[in-house]
Amino acid sequence: MQIFFTVREHLSESIPCIYLLGENFDNIPSTFSDNFPVSSLVHYFDKEQHPAPVFLDNQVVFAVPYLAPTQETYIHNEKMRNQGNLVAGLIQKHSLNKLQVFSDAVLSKESVLCFLEGLNLGSYSYEKKGDSEEYFRDTLQVEVVFSNETEHIEQEELEKLTTLCDAVWLTRDLVNDPPNFKKPSLYGQKIEELGKEAGFETEIWNKERITAERMGGLLGVSQASHEDAIFAKLTYSPKEATNDTPIVLVGKGVTFDIGGSNIKTSMAALEIMKSDMGGSASVIGLIYALAKNNIPLYVVGLLPITDNSISNKGLVPGDVITMRSGLTVEITNTDGEGRLIMADALDYAKELAPELVIDLATLTGNAVRAIGEEGAVFMGNIDETLKRALEKSGKETYERLVEFPLWDEYKEYLKSDVADIKNVGGSFAGAIIAGKFLEHFVDFDWVHLDIAAPAYLMKPSSYRGKNGTGTGVRLLYHFLIEQFS
């Protein structure tokens, strides 16, 4: 399904209209336009104060409740996204292909964009594999009409927003795809296709190349599987880039995490482990959006991709492996596989002399238990100003972040008798210890995002939908543009 946003000069009487109400009903102007009297609009709310449809001469009219901007702007904007999501539900219910959005005088341009973002993202549904039935509508045309007093949104801005939402859809699709549709080799092909479509370069390394790179972490995790690991390198390097050395994005690509010989025993946990490549999917979506929107940033994506399977060829607790960096690691738990593959990718990033490295990974159940699905956990060594800027982007995109510390003392947790470090260090502070493990492999400015909780939801949550959410795409698109372009 494709959604188009276009600017329209005047309201049409024959297209269903959503009236974005910027004030209360008493202040409704007497006419919108000469041929569209207000008397033809009906405002209707259901019991929960949600907009509900009213049929009127083949025209569906919704009114969206007024949102007093008394709270911080980012909370107001999130309410607008939620309103957009409610309207998305109504569009779906009534199988609309076309509608108008009328923006009232009081609403800021930003809040109208947030409404449209919620409407777009709330319209997502996964098109099932092997499903021959066509989705009931393949396009949705949304025409945005402004009152004279409203700050107008340019067509180009609407197109950029659409592309960003497309990138979130793409990330969600990749996460929601069944594991047998995204085994490493198939996932690699998909990445190559996306590179051609969006205009970024791709290199897919096979097992020989990964071996030549001495990526012992990635090879160790994949040795249980009949499917070879791959390592994908995505490069978007526009001529007009504002940065000389790349911003590197590292994404965990575990296409299914059984846990290895420390097999996962809970069905509930196993059920969602096709989403363990969520970090890599978000990096792909982000680079797709940056490239398609011609953002002048030099960005490289590094994606170690494998499943974490179980077999008699696999790692067992007690094994010692040598990482790309030369550090030896005692495997104390094969389910701590994400940090092993991420560490090799981080070590490779050193060769690119990066300006900044951001990694995204569905890394620990501990991050889920600590703060739930409401946000992601981050840690890193970047300066305080940049950390606060990242948190600000988190609020503005409502992909909120909480910082966890990387205190020196946590190093003790990873001490090993038989190797330089071990991969898992007991039951305390699990998300931090995973971050502490990764810290051994960085010598550059670095942020680690543990997106285990918000990347995949078991029940719907507003415009995030259910299952794959695309967490990280909007957050980092916003952050990178604000801070670096």
- By CB under 5 A, tell whether 330 contacts Zn ion: no
Question: Quick check: 37 and 83 in contact, CB under 8 A?
Answer: no
Nearer to Zn ion, 104 or 257 (CB): 257
State both tokens at 108: 């800021």
- By CB under 5 A, tell whether 257 contacts Zn ion: yes
Q: Is-catalytic flag, 264?
A: yes
Give the binding range for ligand BES (CB under 6 A) out of 140-148, 239-247, 357-365, 374-382.
357-365
- By CB under 5 A, tell whether 143 contacts Zn ion: no
366 binds, among ligand BES, Zn ion, none (CB under 5 to 8 A by kind): ligand BES
Length of the chain: 485
User: Minimal CA–CA distance to 64: which of 46, 30, 113?
Assistant: 46
- By CB under 5 A, tell whether 307 contacts Zn ion: no
Phi and psi torsions of 172, nearest 5°: -60, -45
Indicate the pairing of strand 17-20 with strand 98-103: parallel
- By CB under 6 A, tell whether 276 contacts ligand BES: yes
Identify the active-site residue in 182, 183, 264, 464: 264
Q: How many residues bind ligand BES (CB under 6 A)?
A: 17
Scan residues 261-290 and list those touching Zn ion (CB under 5 A): 276
Nearer to Zn ion, 22 or 251 (CB): 251
Q: Is-catalytic flag, 214?
A: no
Give CA–CA dist 379/402, Å, rounded. Answer: 9
Token match 């309201």: residue?
Answer: 11
Scan residues 366-385 and list those touching ligand BES (CB under 6 A): 366, 368
Question: Quick check: 355 and 454 in contact, CB under 8 A?
Answer: no
User: Minimal CA–CA distance to 282: which of 124, 401, 455?
Assistant: 455
User: Minimal CA–CA distance to 172: which of 293, 325, 275?
Assistant: 275
Q: Which of 53, 336, 465, 470 binds ligand BES (CB under 6 A)?
A: 336
User: Minimal CA–CA distance to 153: which of 294, 15, 7?
Assistant: 7
393 binds, among Zn ion, ligand BES, none (CB under 5 to 8 A by kind): none
Give CA–CA dist 173/193, Å, rounded. Answer: 15
- By CB under 6 A, tell whether 306 contacts ligand BES: no
- By CB under 6 A, tell whether 365 contacts ligand BES: yes
Spell 352-391 as b/e; 16+ CB within 10 A means b.
bebbbbbbbbbbbbbbbebbebebbbbbbebeeeebeebb
Nearer to Zn ion, 140 or 342 (CB): 342
365 binds, among ligand BES, Zn ion, none (CB under 5 to 8 A by kind): ligand BES
Q: Which of 12, 73, 328, 333 binds ligand BES (CB under 6 A)?
A: 333
Q: Which of 166, 335, 396, 450 binds Zn ion (CB under 5 A)?
A: 335
Question: Taking each helix axis from N to C terminus, what angle separates 155-176 and 109-122, rounded to the nearest 10 degrees?
Answer: 30
Residues designated as active site: 264, 339
Which stretches of the chain bind ligand BES, using CB under 6 A? 257, 272, 276, 333, 335-338, 362-366, 368, 424, 430, 452
Task: Catalog residues that contact Zn ion under the rule CB under 5 A.
Answer: 254, 257, 276, 335, 337-338
